[in-house]
Amino acid sequence: MKKLLTAIILFTLIINNGNSYALNIEYKAKTESLVKISQLIELGDKDDSINNKNPILAAGLSFVIPGAGQIYNGEIIKGISIFIGVIGLGLLDYFIIEPIAKQNDISKKSDSLFDLGALATRISLPTLWVYGWGSAYQSSDPVYQKKVRDEEKLKKENEANKTSNNLSQINLISYRF
């Protein structure tokens, strides 16, 4: 929104050719006023990189349809993966595990490996579903986004320092020989 407002202001100033301020303004004064206007509006990376998505809405969407909150946040591959995982585990439980479990109950048969697989499926289905809620909420939370950006900046700085430190270590080693 700020960029749009700035673009409109700058466009009108350019079209009016500065006539709204005074008739005899030099080019340098015009550019300085444009810079001052853009500074007042605070253009920059501060507001552009913040995702203005509602975390509660994202979690609610993931509650209703697994993966929908991730898609709402722009994490399409993650959302589709969670959706396919939950649906796949649900279908596996309903069409394969339940009929075999009923057969084993009727025949009084015990298959410990099957029971272990059924237990893993029945635990991982709700776990993946609840993970989708938390993941959708967290990825749209502004505090978490700020933390991720700060970590990325720190990582880039460390990588830049690491390469310079490695070069200095190589130079020190080469002087010893």
Q: Which residues of the chain have pLDDT under 70?
A: 1-51, 162-177
Residues 69, 118 share a domain:
yes
Residue 44's pLDDT is: 45
Residue 153 belongs to some domain of the structure: no
How many folded domains does the chain comprise?
A: 2
38, HSE (Cβ side, Cα atoms, 13 Å): 13
Residue 144's pLDDT is: 87
Instruction: Look at the block and give the residue holding tokens 């490996």.
Output: 113
Residue 113's pLDDT is: 86
User: What pTM did the predictor assign?
Assistant: 0.60
- The encoded tokens of residue 144 equal 């978490």
For 123, other C-beta atoms within 10 Å of its C-beta total 11
Residues 83, 20 share a domain:
no
Question: 100 φ, ψ to 5°?
Answer: -70, -40
**Residues 20-41: pLDDT tens digits?**
444 444 555 555 665 565 555 5
For 38, the domain range is: 2-48
- The encoded tokens of residue 135 equal 């993941």
Residues 114, 88 share a domain:
yes
Residue 66 belongs to some domain of the structure: yes
Residues 43, 76 share a domain:
no
Question: 10 φ, ψ to 5°?
Answer: -65, -40
Residues 91, 40 share a domain:
no
Residue 1's pLDDT is: 58
Question: 17 φ, ψ to 5°?
Answer: 55, 35
Residue 156 belongs to some domain of the structure: no
Residues 90, 22 share a domain:
no
3-state helix, strand, coil in the chain (%, to 5): 80, 0, 20
Residue 168's pLDDT is: 55
CA-CA distance, 94 to 59, in Å (whole number)? 26
Determine which helix (DSSP H) or strand (DSSP E) holds 171, and give its type and residue range. Answer: helix 142-176
Residue 36's pLDDT is: 60
